[in-house]
């Protein structure tokens, strides 16, 4: 009895002491402090940014992402006591909420009249404060999206500031606001209250880059930014995967490859530590170390091992050809390249190995490192799997990737840990993923889409990841999907069209969504996947320099023909282009935009962006809801008889004529007009008369209609699936000189 009384007295003392500290620290009322103290103690709440919300000048609307049943109680404890809280029906009626409801004025949520009520506008205009709780869906349905429209309309009418609030970690609490069981249940997660700076509705709309005067998407984007801000921006790759292991469980299977080998988070990080120790023997901190491996567990182990050891992974594109590989090695000043004898032999990469050596690098074979692993080393790694070998900062370089070279010589792109983690979490804040998902990644990791979206995003978010070594195995990949039953997949149109042709009905029926990038998705490909597998292709857009994803469609916000909307935290600038009437050249800025380039004329030297803005080289137009449409490449314009012709636009037009075939439009030198347009196509039925007729129907200038047609069995492509326009143009010139054009 004495012990129980002592425990009760100690609990009361800690409670009272915490309440006093929080009252003084945050300026809470005594009642608020007393009721906030247990939350602070149980959930170790990080609340340093709540001062932004409390200090916001009225009139103000606090928009809270409603994830768990405790969210309203927390906000009633922390927001100024003159705030009017609009509670959902469950919170308004719940018995346990009664003490918190006494802290401030509350009304029950009723979407039919609350959000069109003039009373709320009057409350705000009278220097009032309003707290609105919006459902936590990353991809809200149309009904939920009405709340965004209502809130921004009220804020605009009252000239009120908007303060987004997101409680990081609350999504794992078992008492979920929706009533559904969360994908991962944790009774006592650490909570982090993310609060963004107050902004008026017009300021939000202006930031969104939209010409619309009232735009719910502006608020939607701001709420996604609050979600993104709740993640730790100071993590390295190793630390991010380590945190995922601790959050989802060290024993959880994180990774599997085509050999059937499975790795839990603990084994993955322990293996990375073992490799990292080896790497420290023949490399130096900060050195660029080449990685020439296929999609396999060993590749992820090598990446995390290099990250743990403070080295930079330079992912060698072994499909780019010996000349490009040699240039890449020289540009990034790579001294050591990690590879596998078995892989080189199977993939027949002897010429690429020679190119690596010609570039001045030495091959280190993973097979040769295995005998050096001792039992004591394994024991230490198993014991210390949570700790990196070498401490470094998130702003340090993490990987070097090489641009596709689809239109010219590849450049080395230097991405920091922060760039990569930010892009993975930007994706998580836009597209719904959870530890219930299974991801199938067939895209190589030397391609930025395959690295960040296909590999890092699943690992960091507890999604079980299956790596397949090559996207070119068109008949085998549907069989893998039939067995694995993935819910998430990533690909490029070229590959997806081939998988659909080879697949049996039902092979991909388990997919919840399929994200496509690297090239435009053809209408035919989209239709086949929709009809045969009941799967929507979510088209996105990116570039290596943006780590790579910049925009994406989602399941509930999907506009066919566009690449979706910018990811949260990104900004765009569009500059006019000669000859382009609508839209312009796209520039991007954001936490995922690269540190800078290395180029062949300045090898090993990081050349940072001068002003933080990346010139994408893409010509785009943006509608009033922020959906981006790619209309062409600045480099893919031809100037014929003084007129600027978009080669990409002509290519899309030709695709509509023969949708089941592949086409590439290139320009070649012409003595009379400077340049002329050539169609390279797999369509055996292609003819000039059909092209001229299509041109007249579309109302395009006669100059833009291809005058020459070159028929091929296959269009040259890069390892990413993109059309290799450099090789295609060389092919066109060769055929034209030989007189073999139609």
Catalytic residue ranges? 66
3-state secondary structure of 671: coil
Of the candidates 67, 33, 434, 395, which has an alpha carbon nearest to the alpha carbon of residue 230? 67
Of the candidates 275, 468, 304, which has an alpha carbon nearest to the alpha carbon of residue 365? 275
3-state secondary structure of 458: helix
Radius of gyration of the chain (CA): 28
DSSP lists the bridge partners of residue 243 as none
Q: How many CB atoms lie within 10 A of CB 684?
A: 9
In Å, what is the CA distance from 544 to each residue of 302, 323, 451, 595, 597? 21, 20, 10, 12, 11
Of the candidates 258, 671, 662, 621, which has an alpha carbon nearest to the alpha carbon of residue 468? 258
Integer distance in angstroms from the first to the last C-alpha of the chain? 99
In Å, what is the CA distance from 304 to each residue of 233, 274, 389, 669, 686? 18, 10, 11, 47, 49
Alpha carbon distance 141, 151 (integer Å): 16
Taking the CA atoms of residue 250, residue 255, residue 256 and residue 257 in that order, the dihedral angle to the nearest 10 degrees is -150
Of the candidates 339, 542, 348, which has an alpha carbon nearest to the alpha carbon of residue 451? 542
Are β-strands 412-416 and 397-402 bridged in parallel, bridged antiparallel, or unpaired?
A: antiparallel
Long-range contacts of 618-622 (CB under 8 A, 24+ apart): 618/541, 618/543, 618/585, 618/586, 619/577, 619/580, 619/583, 619/584, 619/585, 619/586, 619/646, 619/648, 620/574, 620/583, 620/584, 620/586, 621/582, 621/583, 622/209, 622/210, 622/572, 622/574, 622/583
CB 419 within 8 A of CB 595: yes
Alpha helices in 309-416 (DSSP H): 322-331, 341-347, 350-358, 366-369, 375-383
In Å, what is the CA distance from 80 to each residue of 29, 48, 60, 129? 9, 16, 11, 8
Q: Which two tokens stand for residue 599?
A: 């180029």
Residue position matching structure tokens 């050891």: 309
Q: How many CB atoms lie within 10 A of CB 369?
A: 16
């Amino acid at each position: 009895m004495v012990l129980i009384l002592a425990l009760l007295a100690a609990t009361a003392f800690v409670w009272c002491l915490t309440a006093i500290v929080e009252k003084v620290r945050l300026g809470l009322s005594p009642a608020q402090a007393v009721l906030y103290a247990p939350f602070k103690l149980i959930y170790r709440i990080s609340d340093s940014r709540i001062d932004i919300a409390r200090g916001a000048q009225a009139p103000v609307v606090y928009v809270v992402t409603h994830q768990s049943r405790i969210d309203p109680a927390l906000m009633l404890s922390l927001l100024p006591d003159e705030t009017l809280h609009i509670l959902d029906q469950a919170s308004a009626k719940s018995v346990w909420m009664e003490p918190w409801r006494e802290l401030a004025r509350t009304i029950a949520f009723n979407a039919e009249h609350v959000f069109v009520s003039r009373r709320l506008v009057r409350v705000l205009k009278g220097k009032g404060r309003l707290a609105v709780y919006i459902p936590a869906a990353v991809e809200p349905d149309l009904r939920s999206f009405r709340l965004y429209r209502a809130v921004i309309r009220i804020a605009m009418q009252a000239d009120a500031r908007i303060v987004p609030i997101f409680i990081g970690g609350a999504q794992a609490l078992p008492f979920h606001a929706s009533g559904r069981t969360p994908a991962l249940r944790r009774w006592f997660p650490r909570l982090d209250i993310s609060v963004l700076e107050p902004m008026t509705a017009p300021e939000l709309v202006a930031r969104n880059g939209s010409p619309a005067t009232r735009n719910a998407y502006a608020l939607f984007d701001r709420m996604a930014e609050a979600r993104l801000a709740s993640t730790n921006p100071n993590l390295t790759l190793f630390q991010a995967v380590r945190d995922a292991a601790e959050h989802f469980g060290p024993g959880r299977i994180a990774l599997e490859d085509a050999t059937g080998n499975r790795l839990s988070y603990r084994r993955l990080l322990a293996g990375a530590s073992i490799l990292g120790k080896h790497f420290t023997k023949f490399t130096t901190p900060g050195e660029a170390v080449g990685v020439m491996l296929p999609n396999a567990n060993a590749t992820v182990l090598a990446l995390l091992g290099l990250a743990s050891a403070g080295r930079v992974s330079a992912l060698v594109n072994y499909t780019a050809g010996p000349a490009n590989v040699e240039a890449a090695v020289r540009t990034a000043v790579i001294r050591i390249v990690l590879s596998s004898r078995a892989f080189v032999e199977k993939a027949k990469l002897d010429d690429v190995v020679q190119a690596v050596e010609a570039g001045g690098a030495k091959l280190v074979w993973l097979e040769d490192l295995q005998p050096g692993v001792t039992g004591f080393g394994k024991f230490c790694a198993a014991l210390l799997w949570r700790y990196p070998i070498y401490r470094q900062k998130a702003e340090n370089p993490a990987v070097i990737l090489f641009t596709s070279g689809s239109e010219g010589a590849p450049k080395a792109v230097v991405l920091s840990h922060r760039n990569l983690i930010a892009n993975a979490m930007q994706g998580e804040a836009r597209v719904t993923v959870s530890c219930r998902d299974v991801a199938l990644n067939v895209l190589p990791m030397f391609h930025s889409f395959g690295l960040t979206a296909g590999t890092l995003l699943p690992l960091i978010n507890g999604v079980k990841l299956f790596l397949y070594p090559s996207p070119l195995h068109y008949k085998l990949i549907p069989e893998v999907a039939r067995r694995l039953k993935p819910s998430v997949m990533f690909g490029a149109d070229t590959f997806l069209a081939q998988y659909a042709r080879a697949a049996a009905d039902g092979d991909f029926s388990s997919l919840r969504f399929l994200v496509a990038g690297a090239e435009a998705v053809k209408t035919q490909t989209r239709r086949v996947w929709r009809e045969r597998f009941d799967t929507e292709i979510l088209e996105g857009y990116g570039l290596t320099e943006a780590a790579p994803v910049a925009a994406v469609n989602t399941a509930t916000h999907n506009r066919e023909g566009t690449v979706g909307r910018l990811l949260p935290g990104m900004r765009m600038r569009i500059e006019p282009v000669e000859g382009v009437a609508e839209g312009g050249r796209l520039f991007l800025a954001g936490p995922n935009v690269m540190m800078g380039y290395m180029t062949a004329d300045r090898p090993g030297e990081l050349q940072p962006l001068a002003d933080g803005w990346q010139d994408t080289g893409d010509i785009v137009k943006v509608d009033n809801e922020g959906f981006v449409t790619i209309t062409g490449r600045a480099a893919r314009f031809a100037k014929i008889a003084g007129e600027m012709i978009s080669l990409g636009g002509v290519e899309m037009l030709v695709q509509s004529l023969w949708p089941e075939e592949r086409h590439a439009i290139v320009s070649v030198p012409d003595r009379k007009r400077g340049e002329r347009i050539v169609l390279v196509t797999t369509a055996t039925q292609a003819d000039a008369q059909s092209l001229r007729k299509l041109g007249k129907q579309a109302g395009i200038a006669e100059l833009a209609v291809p005058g020459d047609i070159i028929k091929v069995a296959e269009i040259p492509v890069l390892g990413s699936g993109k059309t290799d326009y450099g090789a295609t143009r060389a092919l066109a010139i060769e055929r034209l000189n030989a007189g073999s054009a139609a």
